[in-house]
Amino acid sequence: MEVPQKVRGTQDWFGEQQRYYTFIKKVSRHIFRHFGFTRISTPIMEMRDLIVRSVGEHTDVVSKELYEFKDKKGRDLVLKPESTAGVMRSYLENFQNDPQPVYLFYIEPHFRYDRPQKGRYRQFHQLGAEIIGERDPVLDAENIHMAVKILQDCGVGEKFTLKINTLGNTKEREAYIAELQAFFRGKSHLLDEIDQARVEHNPLRLLDSKNPDVREILPYAPKLRDFFKKDSNEYYESVKSYLDLLGIKYEEDPTLVRGLDYYCDVVFECVDNSGRTQDAYCGGGRYDGLATSLGSKNPVPAVGFALGVERLIDSMVESGLYIINKDTIDLYFIQVGEEAKRIALPISVQAREMGLNVLASFGSPSMKTQLKKANQLKAKYVAIIGIMEARRGVCQLKNMEKGVQQEIKISELLDHMVEIVGEKNLDFYDPKKELLQGKKPEPIDPSAK
């Protein structure tokens, strides 16, 4: 019988990969917290209808990439391909009476039945933000600012270009789409099958088509900008002026349309400068029409972004950036005989309480095998307690890097180790500092005087 393999396009994350992930989560959590955001997690499963109505029936994400299935009651469900739809669903249920806008962030796995390749997986992780309940160009600028800052703080600030564009409002876009379709219908002999389908169902995607024939005729196609009225132009100019105020550099790219249907007005992407195919680290924009397309009676303006964690990690690795490894073993106990074991067990417990990372070898292999194991695990120090040492209340403390060894009293071992490791490098977490008991504090009521 063969051992089952992991599902194609998925990855096991351990060791170094986990360190990058934890670091990226930490960096983004701090930035989000500074900007006043709180975290939300929506379910991995959503109703298919939610995703179709949000992302758009004819987008690649819905028409080709959905993981969809029926549950035992025949409901149509999907594994979420992105989180904005779920967050908006939750907003409509839980957040409408909160002070507006509501600032939410997420760090979640997503699923798309994509062709697996570097930078493109079937299970991938996105961290993202949504500012829901207010329309103001300042919020668009802040949204972009956060995405840029996360990339900068993760050390890849020089590796990407921020591209921005505006899609105008629904009416303007509809008028434009009709003209664009008319233009391309006259040239369908130049289009491949995919682009022919796009003309009918998702014409804006023709603007970022990779097909060279399409790219050649694009300069002659109608321009979206020509369909904008004063408001859309002013909104775009305003977002740009706030970006200027924040000192954020950007390039304007009229072909940037994003792959999902819910966007309007200002959209953006941070793309890798190296010109590789999977080039977008993150993208986002305004999506004022989403709530109403989900059935909300009131329009709910919103803006957000999503950043691909795997692509960011790849880029950090390529740049030679790595994360300090805190999962190191400060002290490894090697013991021989029952008496030594009875000394090593309680002292290893005590050592952990003092903030040291400690592993003890409690089987009964030979001293040589235990030392080899300590070496493989890259333990910094090894305390050897043999039969004689146990009787005399001492141990042999070996510095594994230097290979030097000294005898030390067991009663002095831990203070000595704390001194060597250094107070600031001790690993402390006191759950009691955050875990409180008693009456829950009243939620803050913003309407209270």
Q: Give contact residues for ligand AMP (rule: CB under 6 A).
A: 82, 112, 114, 119-121, 124, 126, 259, 280-283, 306, 308, 310-311
Q: How far is the CB of 278 from ligand AMP (least distance, A)?
A: 7
Q: How far apart (Å, rounded) are the C-alpha atoms in residues 173 and 167?
A: 7
Q: Which is nearer to ligand AMP, 163 or 380 (CB)?
A: 163
Q: Which residues pair with residue 398 across a beta bridge?
A: 382, 405
Q: Which is nearer to ligand AMP, 80 or 380 (CB)?
A: 80
Q: How far is the CB of 66 from ligand AMP (least distance, A)?
A: 12
Closest residue to ligand AMP in the complex (CB)? 308
The answer to whether 72 touches 117, Cβ cutoff 8 Å, is: no
Q: How far is the CB of 64 from ligand AMP (least distance, A)?
A: 12
Q: Which is nearer to ligand AMP, 32 or 184 (CB)?
A: 32
Q: Which is nearer to ligand AMP, 268 or 333 (CB)?
A: 268
Q: How far is the CB of 256 from ligand AMP (least distance, A)?
A: 11
CB atoms within 10 A of CB 47: 15
Q: How far is the CB of 120 from ligand AMP (least distance, A)?
A: 4
Nearest to 300 by CA among 100, 129, 150: 100
Q: How far is the CB of 121 from ligand AMP (least distance, A)?
A: 4
Q: How far is the CB of 235 from ligand AMP (least distance, A)?
A: 21
Q: Which is nearer to ligand AMP, 303 or 395 (CB)?
A: 303
Q: Which is nearer to ligand AMP, 203 or 283 (CB)?
A: 283
Q: Which is nearer to ligand AMP, 256 or 351 (CB)?
A: 256
Q: What does the H/E/C string look like for 156-225?
A: HCCCEEEEEEECCCHHHHHHHHHHHHHHHHCCHHHCCHHHHHHHHHCHHHHHHCCCHHHHHHHHHCCCHH
Q: How far is the CB of 109 from ligand AMP (least distance, A)?
A: 11
CB atoms within 10 A of CB 383: 29
Q: Which residues pair with residue 306 across a beta bridge?
A: 128, 283
Q: How far apart (Å, rounded) are the C-alpha atoms in residues 335 and 315?
A: 44
Q: What's the helix, strand, coil split of the chain in %, to 5?
A: 40, 20, 35
Question: How many alpha carbons fall within 13 Å on the CB side of residue 426?
Answer: 17
Distances (CA, A) of 85 to 51, 90, 146, 263: 6, 9, 20, 12
Q: How far is CA 135 from the centre of its chain?
A: 25
Q: Which is nearer to ligand AMP, 204 or 383 (CB)?
A: 204
